[in-house]
């Protein structure tokens, strides 16, 4: 069995396979989507912090440069 789902305009596939015990094992696309969202949120937070640091460093460099002139 094979299913597709759509999230935020992107299509994801989900496959079902039978294991040796004839149970059905679902490859959890939902779990992968959540992990990717969490990773994306974390990276966006880190980028925001780095941009803040960059602004602070630029300001410090500008002050230091004006002091030396």
Whole-prediction pTM? 0.55
Lowest model confidence (mean pLDDT) among 10-24, 28-42, 50-64: 10-24
pLDDT at residue 69 tops 60: yes
pLDDT per position as a tens digit, 34-54: 888 999 999 999 999 999 999
| C-alpha to C-alpha distance for 31 and 11, rounded to whole angstroms | 15
Strand partners, 23: none
Check residue 23 and give its pLDDT. Answer: 46
Is 27 within 8 Å of 14 (Cβ atoms)?
yes
pLDDT at residue 16 tops 70: no
């Amino acid at each position: 069995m094979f299913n597709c789902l759509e999230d935020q305009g992107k299509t994801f596939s989900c496959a079902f396979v039978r294991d040796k015990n004839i149970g059905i094992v679902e490859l959890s696309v939902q779990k992968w989507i959540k992990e990717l969202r969490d990773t994306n949120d974390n990276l966006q937070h880190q980028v925001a912090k780095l941009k803040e640091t960059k602004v602070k460093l630029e300001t410090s460099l500008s002050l230091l440069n004006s002091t030396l002139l």
